Structure 1
Amino acid sequence: QHLMEAERMQIPAKLKNLRADYASWKTKEEEWKRECTEELQSQLNEIGHRLYVAEGEKKKYLDEREKLLKACRKVYNDSRIELKKELEEFIAGVQHEIDRMKQQTAEREKELKQAQESELSGKGADTVTIRKYDDRLAEINKELESISKSRPLVLYYERDKAELFDKEPATRSRKKELDAKLSALDERFDLKKKKLQVQKKGADDHLDRIRKELDSLEDGLNKVDMFRKDETFCPPSVIEIGEKPTRKSCDVIVDELKSLIISTIRKTDDFKKAVTQFNGNFSSKNTFHFRTELIGEQDYYDFASNLCEFVDNDKISDYQKHISERYTDIIRRISQEVGGLTRNESEIHRTIKDINDDFVKRNFAGVIKEIALRPLQSSDKLMQLLLEIKRFSDENQYNMGKVDLFSQDSREDVNATAVRHLLSFMKYLLDEPGRRRLALADTFKLEFRVKENDNDTGWVEKIANVGSDGTDILVKAMVNIMLINVFKEKASRKFGDFKIHCMMDEIGKLHPNNVKGILDFANCRNILLVNSSPTTYNVEDYRYTYLLSKDGRSNTRVVPLLTYNQKEK
C-alpha cells in the first residue's frame, strides 16, 4: 500500500514532465515547418525570377529573328524583281535578234532570187515560166501543209467510218430483229398477263366464297352461344359433361364397353397396318423427314398427327417447289460447266486447220505424201448426255422450275424431261463410280488420214493403225512438229521469230532415208531436232555429233565427235 501511494503521488509529476516535453516538441515542429516554408518560398522566388529572365530573353530572340526574316524577305524580293527584269530584257533582245535575222534572211533570199532570175535570163531561160512554177510550188506546199493539218481529222473520219458508218446497215437490221423480238416478248407478256388476271379473278372469287362460308360459320357459332346461354331452350345437361342417368343394366353397359374396346382395338390395328403400309414407301433418309421406325402406339399417333398437319398445310407443294428449284439449279450448273468445257471448240478446230495448212505449205519430201486431221463429235456417252442436257437447258431456260413471267404452258412436260435427264445422269454416275472427271479429250474425237506412197489409210482414230512401227513414229513426229510450229508461229507474231530445240527419241526405228527428211521437215520451221540413237547414220545429215557414255559413278559424259558445216557443202 505504501508503494501504491508513492506511485500515485508521482503521477502528477510525470504528467507535468510529459506536458513540458510535448510543448517542447510542438515548438520544435513549428520552427521546422517555418524553416522549410521559408526555404521553399526562397526557392520559388528564385525560380520565378529565372523564369521572368528567360521570358525576356525569349522575347528578345524572337524580335531579332523577326527583324532578320524581314530583311531576308526584302533582299529576296528585290533580287527576284531584278532577275525578272533581266530575264524580260534578255527575252526582248533575243526576239529582236530573231526578227532582225528573219528580215536579213528575207532580204538575202530576195537578192538571191533576183540574181538567179538575172543569171537565168542572161542565159536564155524563160524566167516567167519558172516564176509560175515557183508560185505553183508555193501553192502546193500550202496545200500539203493544209493536208498535214487536216490529217488527224481524216484519221478520225476513217475510224468513225469503219466503226459506225460502214456498220449502219447491219445495225439497222439488228435493230429490226431486236424490235421484232421485243414485240414478240410484249405479246407473250400480254398473254401471260391476261392469263394471270383470269387466275387472279378466279382466286378472288374463291376467296369471296370462303369469306362467305366463314361468315356463315361465325353466325352459326354465335347462334350456338346464344342457344347455350338461353336456359329456356338449352338444358344444363348439355353444357355440363358428367355422369348421366340411364335405364340400361350393367350387363348391357359392360357388353357395350367390351364391344367399344374391341372395336377400338380393331380400328387401332387397322390404323397401325395402314400407317405401316404407308410408311413402307419411305426410306430412313426420306426427303420429307418422315419417321420410319415406329415402336410404341404413341409413335403411330404422332406419325398420323404429323401427316395430317403435312397434308392440311399443303407442305408437299413447298417440297415440290424446293425440289423444282434444286434440279433447275443442277441443270443450269451442268449446262454452265459443259459450256465452259466446250468453249474452246473453235480454237481446237482452228488449230487442226493450221496443222493441215502447215503440211500443205511445207510438205514432207519422202514417203509421206499427205497428213490430214479432222475433229468429230465425241462418241463418249457421258459427253453426249451432258451436251443433250446443255441443249435442253438453253432451249428451256425460262420454262423450268417455278412459275415466272416467261413460263409457258408446257412447263410440267419440261420439268418432267429435266428430271429424266438428271435420272439418266445419276444412273450413268452409279454405273461408272470410278470416273471422277471429264477431260477435254472426251469432248471430241480426232481422226487421222495418212498417204504413204500409194497407200491411203483412210480416216483412223489412232496413228498406230497407219503402218509399220517406223512409219507410225515418223507420222507422230511430223504431227508433233506441225503442232509445235503452229503455237510457235502464234508466239512469233508477238515476240518475233525464234528457234526451238526438241529431243526426238527412238530415231533408230526410222528408215535411214527418212532421217534426213524429218530433219529438213523440222529445220524449215526453225525447229532444231536433237536425235539420239545407238545406230550410226549419215553424219552429213547432222550439224553436230556427240558420243554419250556413263562413267563409274553413273555420270553422263558428253564427247564432241564431229562438227559438219552444211554451208561449205
Structure 2
Amino acid sequence: MRYLNKIVFINSASVQYAEIELDGNVHLIGTQGVGKSTLLRAILFFYNANKTKLGIPKQKKGFDDYYFQYQNSYIVYEILKDNIPFCVLAYKVNGKVAFRFFNSAYNRELFIDNNNKAFESWDSIRNAFGKEIYYTKLIKSYDEYRRIIYGDNSGLKPEFKKYALAESKQYQNIPRTIQNVLLNTNLEAKFIKDTIINSLNDEEFIIDIENYAKNHLRDFETQINDIKIWFKENRKGLIVVRKQADKIVDRYRAYNFLKRETKELAYLLATRMNFIENEKPLLNSNYSKENNELNVITKKRENLVKTHRRREQDIVSDLKLITTELAKAKQKLTEYENQNIKEIISKVSKKDTLTIEQRTLEEEKNLLTSKFAEISQKFEALIKQIQNQQQEFTNKQNSDIIKIKSDYGEHKSSVFERYQKLIIQINDENKDEIESVNNDLENIKENENKVKRQKSELKYKTFFSTEIEKCKANKKTLDDKVSSSKNKIVNAQNETKTIRKEWELETKEVERNFNSSVEKKNEASKKLALKIGEIENKIRQNKSSLYGWLNDNINNWQNTIGKVIDEENVLFNTELNPKLIDSNSATLFGVELNLNTLKNRIKSVKEYQQEIEEYKFKVNEIQNSIQQLYTNKENSLQKLKTKFGKKLKNFKDLVAENEYTISQSQEKLKSNKIDLDEWILKAKSEKENVLQKLENDLNEIASKKLKAEEVLNNINKGIKRKISLKEKERHTEIKVLEETKNEKISVINNSISNTNSASDKRIQELKKEQSSELEKKGADTKRLNHIESRLSKIKTDLGYIKENETLVIEYYKDKRELFDNVPQLKVDKASLEKKQSTIINEHSVELNKVNTKWTKQEEFVKSIQIKIDEFDNDLKDFESFKLSDAFLNIKSYYEVPEPIADFDEQEKATTLIKEIIDKHSKSLSAYEELRQGVNLFNGNFNETNIFSFKTKLITKDDFLSFAFELKEFIEEDKIKEYEKRVNDRFAHIIHLIGRETTELNSKQGEIEKIIKKINDDFLGKNFIEAIKTMEIRTLESSNPIVKLLIKIKEFNDENSLVLGESNLFTSSESNTKNQKAVDLLKQLVKELEKSKNTNLTLSESFDLQFRIIENDNDSGWVEKLSNVGSNGTDILVKAMINISLLNVFKIDASKKFKDFKLHCMMDEIGTLHPTNQKGILRFANERNILLINGSPTSQNATDYKYTYKLAKEQSKTNSKKYITKINRLIKKVNTKVLN
C-alpha cells in the first residue's frame, strides 16, 4: 500500500512545529481563522504542486512567502510505500520552493538541533543525514516533481521511480479533482462538469470563439458577397462586374496607349519643328538658286527653238529651189522628148557631111556646066532669084515661127510655173492636215503598240501591288510587333519573377536580420530582467537574510566582513541564523586579515534600487532599440517595396503596353487581312477590267486606225484629184497653146511649103529648060540631074538642120545646165532632206533634253515651293496649336524630346498636330469612360471589401492607380487567389469547427463513462441512508453557439471530402450545400456577436442534470441542488459526488498498480449530521480515499483516526504575532516551541 503518511510543519506559515498523521481519516477542528485551511492547502500542495491552485486569496501573501517565511522554514511529507518510508522535503531555494527526496522516515533530529532550533541551511540538514541517508538532487521543476510522485517516468532518471505514489502517465485527473474538492464549494451542474472535464486531460480543450468572431469569421459574409459578385450572372448570362472590370482595364490600356502615342507624336512634332527651323532658311536659299536655274533653262529652250527654225528655214529654201529645178528639168526633158530631140540631134549632127557633099556636088556641077556658063548662069540667076525670093519668104516665115515658138515657150513656162505653184499650194494646203492625220495615225499606231505591250505586260502585272505589298509589309510589321511584344512580355515576366525572388530574398534577409537582432535584444533584455529579479529578490529578502541582520547589528560591516563574504550564497541567504558572539573581535573564524587592499563590494538597498533603475533604463533602451529595429525593418521593407515596386511597375507597364500593342496589332492584323483580301480581289477584278479595257481599246484603236487611214487616203486622193485636175488643166491649156502654135506654124509652113512648091516648080521648070538647053548644047544632063536632085535633097536637109539647130543648141544648153545636174540635184535634195531630218531629230533630241531638264527643274522648284508652303502651313498651325490644351498636355515631352532614329522628314506638323489633338480628345474620352467605369465598378463594394479596393477616389492619379491595380488584379487572375483563399478559408473554418467541435465532443464518451461509473459506484457502495438515489445525466447543450457548431460539424462530416474541391461561387449542385453551410456560418456570426464570452469550454458542450432523492424528497432533474433538502444535504451530496469522482479517477489513473490511497480534503463539514459524517467517511474509505475534514467542532471523534484541534496563541518573542498551536485530542503531540 502506498499513501501519504505524515506532514510536518517546521517554521511554516503560523506553525512553528507540528507533525500531523495522515494514515487515516483526519479531523481538523477549531474556530475560524486558526489555520485549518492553511494545513489543508499544504496537504493539497503535496498532491498538485501548483501554488496558483491552492485557493490562496490574491490579497494575501503568496505560497512561498507565507509558508516559507524564514530561511529555516520547512514542510516534510512522509510517504509509506509497502511500509517503507521516504520523505519529500519542501523548502525555499533562491526565493522559490523546491523539493528533495530522501530515503528515510521523518526524524526530528534531522532538522532540529539540540537547542530545539531548526537548521538554518540545507548543509546542516545534509550533515545531519550523514552518509546513511540517501537524498536526491534538488527538484526545482514542479512538473518533474508531479511526474515523480505519480509515476510518469518518461524522461526521469531511474533513481526517481521508487518514489512513485502511483504509476500512471494520466495522473493529471487526480490532483485536479483533489484540488477541486477542496476549492469549490458550489454544487451546480457547471461545477460538476468542470470537475469531470478538468480531470480528463492535462489541459481542458476550449474553442476560442472570440478568435472566430474577430478572425476566422470576421467580415466572412462581406467577403463571400464580394467574391460572389465576380460570378453572379444577370438575366442575359453576363457577369456584370467582370464586364465592368474588363471595360476599365480596356479603357486604362487605351488611355496608356494613347498617352504613349501622344508622347511619341510630341517627340515627332518637336523633331519636325526643329527640322523646319533648320531647313527653312536653306530651303529658301535653294529655291532662289533653283528658280534662277529654271529661268536659265527656259531661255536656253527658247534660243534652241529659234536656232532650229533658222537652220531649218535655210534647208527648206534650198529644198524648194532644188525641187523647182528638178521639176523644170523634168518639164523640159519631156518637151524635148515630145519634139523627138534625139532624131533632131542625129539629123543636125550630119550638117557638116551634107555641107561637104553639097560643096562637092556643086563643084562637080560647075565642072560639068563650065562649058555652058552662059546657060548655066542664066538659069542659075533665075533659079537664084527664085531661091532668094523663096529664102527671103522662108526666112520671114521662119522668123514668125520662131517668134510663135518663143511666145509658146514663154506661155508654156508661165502656165507650167503657175500650175506648179497651184500644185505646191494644194500640197501646202493639205500638208498640215496630212501631217495631222499622219501624226494621228502614228499616235494611233503607237497607242496600238502601247496597248499591245500593255496587254503582253498585263500577264505579269499585279494590280494594287503597292497596296498589297503595303498590306503584306504591314502584316509583317504587325507580326514582328506582336512577336516582339510577346518576347518583351516573356522577358518582362521573367524579369518580374527574378525581381520578385530577389525582393523575397532581400525581404527574408531583412526579416532574418531583424529577428536575429530582436532575439539578441530580447536575450539581453531577459538577462537584465533576471538581474532585476535577482536584485529585487535580494531587496525583498534583505530583512530576513544575513544582509538585513548585518545592517541591523554590525556597524561598518561593508568594510569588514562585506569585503570577503560571498554575496550570492551567503549575504542574502535567509537560513544562516546569524548570532553575534563577540562584537569586539576583528577576526574571521579566528583568522585576522588585512582588508585594506580589498575594495568594498557591498551595495546599499538604494544602490541596488539605482542598479534596478539602470537595468530598467537599459531594458527600456533595448525596447526602444527593438522598436527602432522594427521601424528600421519597416523602413527597409518600404524601401525594398519602393525599389522593387518601381522596377516591377516598369515591367508591369511594359507588359501592359505590349499586351495593348498585341491587342491593337491583332485587331490591325484582322483589319489588314480584310484589306489584303479586298486588295487581292480588287487586283484580280482590276486585271480583268483592264484586260477587257485593253481589248476594247484595241478594238477602238483598230477602228480609229482604219478611219485615220481612210481619212489619209481620202486626203491623198483629194490632193491627187486636185493635182490631177490642175495637171489636166495645165495640159489642156498647154495643149491649146501648142495647138495655137502648131496652127500658126502650120499656116506659115503651108505658106512656106506652097511658096517653096511654086518656087521649086519654077526652078524645076527652069532646070528642065536649062537641062533642055544644055542637052541641046551637049551637056551630061543625066549627071547633072542626079547632082541637082542630090543637091536639092541636101539643101532640104540642111534647111531642116538650120531650122532645128537652135533647138539642139538649147537642148544642149539645158542638158548642160539642167539635165546633167539632175542626179546631183537629186543627191543634194536627198542630202538636204536627210540633213533636215537630222536637224529635226537633233533639235528634237536637244529640245527633249532641254524640256526634260526644264521639266525636272520645274518640278524640283515646285517641290521646293511645296515644301516651303508646307513649312509655312506647319508654322502657322503650330502657332495656333500652342494655344490649345492639347499642347499643354504634351509640353513637357515637346520641350525635352527624345531623339527619333527613323524620323520621316515628309511627316507634316499639320498632320501630327491633328493626330495629337485627336489623341488628346480620345485620351480625355478614355479617361472619362475609365472614371465613370471605376465609379460604377466601385458601387459594387464597400470600403472594407476583401480586395482592398479603394472606393473613395478623388484625383486623376487615384483613378489611374485604381485602374492599374485592377488591371494587375485581372491579369494575375487574383480573383482565383481570393476565391481559393475564401474557399480554403470556408473549408478551413468548416473543417476547424468540425474538428474542434469533434474534439470538444470527443470527451463526451469519457464523460458518460465517468458519470456511469459515478452512478454505478453510488449504487454499489452507498452507506448513507438519507440519500436514497443520486443520479447524474447529460443532455444536449442548450447553448445556441454549440448547437450551430454541431450543425456545422454534421455538415463537415457529410461533405468533408468535397469541401476543398467545391466552389462557393459556382452554380454546381454543391452550391446548395455550400449555401447551407454559409447560412450556418452567418447565424454563427450573429450568435457570436451576441455572446459576451470569449471561449467555449467543454462544459458548455453539454448540459448536466442531477436527480437526488432524499428520503421522500425527489428533486427531479435539476442543474442546481440548492432546493434539495437542507444546506447539509447539499454538502453531503457534494462530498459524495467528489469522492465518487476521485475514486473513478484513482481507479483509472494506474492500470498496473492500484494499491494506493489518496486524501480528499473537505472544509466546513461540520454542518453534516454525525450519522451522515460517519456515512461519508465510510463512503470514502470503501474507495481507499482518506478524508481530511475541517470543521469548528468535533461531535464524534471516534469516527476519525486522528482529531487535531487548532488554536491561536500569542508568540512569546513577539507580542504582536500569533502562532497556530495544533493538539491531537487522543494523544497529545509534541508541541515544544522552537526558538
TM-score (norm 2): 0.25
Q: Secondary structure at the match of 1:342?
A: helix
How does 1:50-449 map onto structure 2 within 5 Å?
221-224=672-675, 243=910, 272=931, 275-304=934-963, 306-307=965-966, 310=969, 315-403=974-1062, 410-432=1069-1091, 434-449=1092-1107
Q: Deviations over 1:224-247 (max 9, x none)?
A: 4687999999xxxxx9797469xx
Q: Contact conserved, 1:545 with 1:563, CA < 8 A, in 2?
A: no
2:1162 to 496, 501, 504: 504
Identify which of 1123, 1133, 1148 aligns with 1:475: 1133
CA apart distance, 1:371: 0.6
Please identify, of 478-487 and 298-307, the stretch whose mean Cα deviation from structure 2 is larger: 298-307
**Cα gap change, 1:309 to 1:528, in 2 (>3 Å):** closer
Q: Distance in 2 between matches of 1:228 and 1:431?
A: 76
Post-superposition Cα deviations, 1:263-285, rounded to whole Å, max 9, x if no partner, equal 99899778645533542443444
- Distance in structure 1 (CA, Å) of the matches to 2:1156 and 2:977: 65
Q: Which residue of 2 aligns with 1:461?
A: 1119
Q: State whether residues 1164 and 1192 of structure 2, in contact with CA within 8 Å, keep that contact through their aligned partners in structure 1.
A: no
The partner residue of 2:1195 within 526, 529, 537 is 537
Question: Which residue of structure 2 lines up, in the alignment, with residue 74 of structure 1?
Answer: none
Per the alignment, residue 861 of structure 2 pairs with: none
CA deviations 1:51-80 (Å, max 9, x no partner) are xxxxxxxxxxxxxxxxxxxxxxxxxxxxxx
Aligned to 2:1222: 558
Change (3 A) 1:532 1:321: closer
Letter of the aligned partner of 2:1190 in structure 1? Answer: S
What secondary structure sits across from 1:466 in the alignment? coil
* Aligned-residue offset at 1:489: 2.5
CA separation of 1:224/1:326 partners in 2, compared to 1, >3 Å: closer, same or farther? Answer: farther
Structure 1 letter corresponding to 2:1168: L
Amino acid in the other structure paired with 2:1105: E
Kindly indicate whether residue 1145 of structure 2 is the aligned counterpart of residue 487 of structure 1: yes
- For residues 1189 and 925 of structure 2, what CA distance do their matches in structure 1 show? 93
What code does the residue aligned with 1:353 have? K
Bigger Rg, which one: 2
In 2: Cα distance, 1:216 partner to 1:279 partner: 30
Q: Deviations over 1:410-449 (max 9, x none)?
A: 21122222322332333333333x5222212112111111
Q: What is the rounded CA distance, in whole Å, between the counterparts of 1:535 and 1:453 in structure 2?
A: 27
1:514 aligns with 2:1179: no
**Shift, 1:383, TM fit:** 1.5
* SS of residue matched to 1:374: strand
Structure 1: give runs of 5+ residues left out of the alignment.
Answer: 1-213, 234-238, 246-252, 565-569
Please tell me whether the aligned partners of residues 401 and 415 of structure 1 are also in contact (alpha carbons under 8 angstroms). Answer: no
* 3-state SS of 2:988 partner: helix
Which amino acid in the other structure matches residue 1183 of structure 2?
A: R
Aligned residue for 2:1195, secondary structure, equals coil
- Identify if the C-alpha distance between structure 1 residues 302 and 504 changes in structure 2 by more than 3 Å, giving closer, same or farther: closer
* C-alpha distance in 1 between matches for 2:666 and 2:1168: 99
CA pair 491-285 structure 1, distance change in 2 beyond 3 A: closer
Task: Call closer, same or farther: CA 1:222–1:479 in 2, change over 3 Å.
Answer: same
**Does the Cα contact within 8 Å between 2:1113 and 2:1125 map onto a contact in 1?**
no
Q: State the distance in 1 between where 2:964 and 2:1019 align.
A: 80
Separation in structure 2 between the aligned mates of residue 270 and residue 223 of structure 1, nearest angstrom: 29
> Are residues 493 and 325 of structure 1, via their aligned partners in 2, closer, same or farther at CA, if it must alter by over 3 Å?
closer
Amino acid at match of 2:1220: T
| Aligned-residue offset at 1:348 | 0.8
How much has 1:392 moved relative to structure 2? Answer: 0.5
1:302/1:484 CA distance change after superposition, 3 Å? closer
In 2, the alpha carbon distance for the partners of 1:492 and 1:307 equals 65
Structure 1 residues 403 and 362, CA gap change in structure 2 (3 angstroms): closer
Answer whether contact 1:400 1:411 (CA < 8 A) is retained: no
Q: TM-score under structure 1 normalisation?
A: 0.51
CA contact (8 A) 1:546 1:558 kept: yes
Aligned-pair CA distance for 1:321: 3.2
From the superposition, tell whether residues 481 and 292 of structure 1 become closer, same or farther in structure 2 (CA, over 3 Å).
Answer: same
Are the aligned partners of 1:543 and 1:563 in contact in 2 as well (CA < 8 Å)?
no
Higher RCO (Cα < 8 Å, 6 or more apart)? 2
CA distance in 2, matches of 1:362, 1:563: 32
Q: Percent identity?
A: 43
Question: Which secondary structure does the structure 2 equivalent of 1:388 belong to?
Answer: helix
**Residues 533 and 365 (structure 1), Cα distance of their counterparts in 2 relative to 1, 3 Å cut:** same
Q: Which range is displaced more, 312-321 or 329-338?
A: 312-321
> Residue type of the partner of 2:672?
L
Q: Quick one: which amino acid aligns to residue 389 of structure 1?
A: I
Equivalent pair of 1:501/1:527 in contact (CA under 8 Å)? yes
Counterparts in 2 of 1:537 and 1:408: CA distance versus 1, 3 Å = farther
- Post-superposition shift, 1:476? 0.5
C-alpha RMSD of matched pairs (Å): 4.1
Q: Give, as a single letter, the amino acid of the residue that structure 1 aligns with 2:1000.
A: L
SS of the equivalent of 1:507 reads coil
Q: Which amino acid is 1:494 matched to?
A: K
Q: Structure 2 CA distance, aligned partners of 1:241 and 1:345?
A: 89
Structure 1 position 356, deviation (Å): 0.7
Change (3 A) 1:309 1:508: closer
The answer to whether the 8 Å contact 1:321/1:402 transfers is no
- Does the CA contact (< 8 Å) of 1:378 and 1:384 recur in 2? yes
Question: Equivalents in 1 of 2:1015, 2:677: separation in Å?
Answer: 98
Q: Is the 8 A contact 1:399 1:414 kept in 2?
A: no
Whichever residue aligns with residue 1049 of structure 2, its letter is K
Distance (Å, rounded) in 2 between the aligned partners of 1:485 and 1:312? 68
Deviation at residue 500 of structure 1 after TM alignment: 2.0
Residue 227 to residue 291, structure 1, CA distance change in 2 (3 Å):
farther
Give, in whole Å, the separation in 1 of the partners of 2:908 and 2:1094: 71
Other structure's SS at 2:1059 match? coil
Distance in 1 separating the partners of 2:1128 and 2:1169: 7
Pick from 1109, 1123, 1131 the counterpart of residue 451 of structure 1.
1109
SS of equivalent residue, structure 1 residue 478:
helix
Name the CA distance, whole Å, in 2 between partners of 1:304 and 1:493. Answer: 70
- The C-alpha deviation readout for 1:137-162, integer Å capped at 9, x for no partner, is xxxxxxxxxxxxxxxxxxxxxxxxxx
